[in-house]
Amino acid sequence: MRAKFKKHRLEFKRPSGTSRGVLTTKDSWFLIIEENGKTGLGECSLIEGLSPDNHLEIESLLQTICAALESKTKLPELTQWPAVQMGLESALLGIQNNNQWELFPSEFTRSEAHIPINGLVWMGKPDYMKTQINSLLDRGFDCIKLKIGALDFKQELEVLHYLRKQYDSTTISIRVDANGAFTAEDALDKLQQLERFAIHSIEQPIGVNQWEEMADLCKRSPVPIALDEELISRTDNVERKRMLELIQPQFIILKPSLLGGFKASKEWISHADSLGIDWWVTSALESNVGLNAIAQWTYSLNAKGPQGLGTGSLFTNNIQSPLVITKACLSIDNSISWDLI
């Protein structure tokens, strides 16, 4: 077995804002494994300030992993490295399936089916957010997710009013993502103000590790709540289930690159299903390599409703791939070839 890795810095077409700050670039590392004529490829995708993986030490770890794979010795402990777990799991699936691009064979990978996705509106000045909304509506999206939490809240309400006055909730579904920007003290008041816009759900209204406060919000909020960042770094299965039992959110958001890959994400799904909690899958700013793997896995789950898998078009230098978005759906066009830079 031979193993190597290469770094790829993705560049955003325009600065992309959340309540955590503005992104202009994002780093990924591709792990490439070769064995007996088979090739496996996986992406280790890091978001600084959010991914638990240590950005400064990842290349040293990847060197250790490559050496262990080639010498067939024990791999290092990866519990605190979810993005690396994701990349390694994907690469090994490619070897297993003898196809680095088709990890979960299905109608989706055969270009016979598609995945409904939501459109994403990045945070910015109200006019810029409205421009993004109009573009998504023109492209046929009927589920739109808006990043909120960093502007003046009245301005954010005005943007939501702009969208909702044109389309009611039977025509356009609205999701919002606060990325933990609300405080425990003001969150309920803000959620009550959001109620009039018939919001489908809000992701992570308050910061992590406030279980009692989040549980109270989930009971009292007129807007259904989805946990997102709250799931990151929860590696103990007992703790995962205990947290969901206590908080009782209406939804959880699954981001395999932040949760430790597909196996770990399936464990979250098992806990959620046992408690009657719904879920959907989103990407975490991977290149098309990671997005391809996540999309294939998502289709294999028979996931319900629009998924958050529309991020591939955000970058100027993404990897050329057969992933295409048409009429608010992600699909694979096998007439388009891959081109790994």
CATH of the domain at 14: 3.30.390.10
Indicate whether 27 and 171 sit together in one domain. Answer: no
**Burial of 304 by CB count in 10 Å (0-12 exposed, 13-18 middle, 19+ buried)?**
exposed
Residue with tokens 């077409």: 13
Indicate whether 186 and 85 sit together in one domain. Answer: no
Query: Long-range pairs for 233-239 at CB < 8 Å and ≥24 separation?
Result: 233/52, 233/80, 235/79, 235/80, 235/260, 235/264, 237/267, 237/271
- Residues 227-273: pLDDT tens digits? 999 999 999 999 999 999 999 999 999 999 999 999 999 999 999 99
Domain range for residue 74?
A: 2-97
Q: Starting at the edge strand that comes first in sequence, how are the strands of the sheet with 323-326 ordered? A: 115-116, 329-332, 323-326
Catalytic residue at 255? yes
User: pTM of the entire structure?
Assistant: 0.95
Report which residue type is found at 308.
G
% pLDDT > 70, the chain: 99
Last residue of a domain, one of 69, 97, 125: 97
Indicate whether 201 and 82 sit together in one domain. Answer: no
Indicate whether 88 and 134 sit together in one domain. Answer: no
Are 54 and 47 in contact by the 8 Å Cβ rule? The answer is no
Catalytic residue at 219? no
Are 325 and 314 in contact by the 8 Å Cβ rule? The answer is no
Q: Residue 31 falls within a domain, yes or no? A: yes
Number of domains in the chain: 2
Q: Residue 141 falls within a domain, yes or no? A: yes
Q: Which candidate in 147, 154, 266, 304 is catalytic?
A: 147
**Burial of 206 by CB count in 10 Å (0-12 exposed, 13-18 middle, 19+ buried)?**
buried
Q: Which candidate in 26, 145, 241, 255 is catalytic?
A: 255
What pLDDT, on a 0 to 100 scale, did the predictor assign at position 48? 87
Per-residue pLDDT tens listing for the chain (341 residues):
999 999 999 999 987 766 677 889 999 999 999 999 999 999 999 998 899 999 999 999 999 999 999 999 999 999 999 999 999 999 999 999 999 999 999 999 999 999 999 999 888 888 988 999 999 999 999 999 999 987 899 999 999 999 999 999 999 999 999 999 999 999 999 999 999 999 999 999 999 999 999 999 999 999 999 999 999 999 999 999 999 999 999 999 999 999 999 999 999 999 999 999 999 999 999 999 999 999 999 999 999 999 999 998 899 999 999 999 999 999 999 999 999 86
Last residue of a domain, one of 52, 70, 97: 97
Angle between the 82-97 and 262-274 helix axes, to the nearest 10 degrees? Answer: 110
Indicate whether 137 and 27 sit together in one domain. Answer: no
What pLDDT, on a 0 to 100 scale, did the predictor assign at position 340? 82
What pLDDT, on a 0 to 100 scale, did the predictor assign at position 17? 67
Indicate whether 26 and 149 sit together in one domain. Answer: no
Rounded CA-CA distance 303/292 in Å is 16
Indicate whether 293 and 149 sit together in one domain. Answer: yes
In CATH, what number is assigned to the domain containing residue 189?
Answer: 3.20.20.120
Q: Pairing between strand 115-116 and 329-332?
A: antiparallel
Q: Residue 30 falls within a domain, yes or no? A: yes
Q: Residue 338 falls within a domain, yes or no? A: no
